Amino acid sequence: MRNKILLTGALMLMAIPAAQAEEWCGYAARAKSLVECGYSSVSQCENALGKGGMCFVDPEVARNFSLIRPAPRAKTHG
């Protein structure tokens, strides 16, 4: 039972940084705005676009798992 809990926790920790490594795209809330990609975080995207902008995960990264960078390994104590 303890091994299952540890394995589940380890898998969850590995998934969190991987989601943050994805590139982001977004567009501003104004007429004829273009979709711009290459933001490294959703907060960077929101800051660049301003109020009313829409940010989303880069569709190319979402479709192609080979573009997703592996998460760094967490340091363990013990």
Sole residue written with tokens 């013990």: 78
Summarised one tens digit per residue, pLDDT across range 23-35 is 899 999 888 889 9
Q: How far apart are CA 65 and CA 50, in angstroms?
A: 29
Summarised one tens digit per residue, pLDDT across range 5-24 is 544 544 444 444 444 446 89
Q: How far apart are CA 9 and CA 16, in angstroms?
A: 11
What is the number of structural domains in the chain? 1
| Residue 24 belongs to domain spanning | 2-67
Q: Phi, psi at residue 29, to the nearest 5°?
A: -90, 65
